Amino acid sequence: METVQVRLSKELFRLLDASVSKGVYPNKSEVVRDALRKMFAPELKEEILAEAVRRSSSKDFVSQGEIEKEFGL
């Protein structure tokens, strides 16, 4: 995994912190990762489907669910 440093407004930080405090997410990094997954979901789905099609005709065949895990979904 790569590391990214981000500056947030006080309000965004408060919301991020509250999501962790309430137990919605285990940590702040997971809040950000989930938000990015949701933001890029359409693009990721296209890439996942293309990868599934590519692998379906090769010896590298795996399920779409396994490919989604590789993409972090």
Residue 70 and residue 51: Cα distance in Å, rounded?
A: 11
Average pLDDT of span 8-28: 96
Q: pLDDT band at 24, cuts 50/70/90?
A: very high
In this prediction, residues 32-52 reach a mean pLDDT of 83
Choice among 15-24, 27-36, 56-65 with the minimum mean pLDDT: 56-65
Q: Give the pTM.
A: 0.62
Cα–Cα distances in angstroms (integers) from residue 71 to residues 36, 40, 41, 44, 49, in the given order: 12, 11, 11, 8, 11
Q: Identify which has the larger pLDDT, 57 or 16.
A: 16
pLDDT band for position 73 (cuts 50, 70, 90)? low
In degrees, to the nearest 5, what angle opens at C-alpha 35 toward C-alphas 31 and 3? 65
CA torsion angle for 14, 21, 40, 59 (degrees, to 10)?
160
In whole angstroms, give the CA distance from residue 26 to residue 6: 19
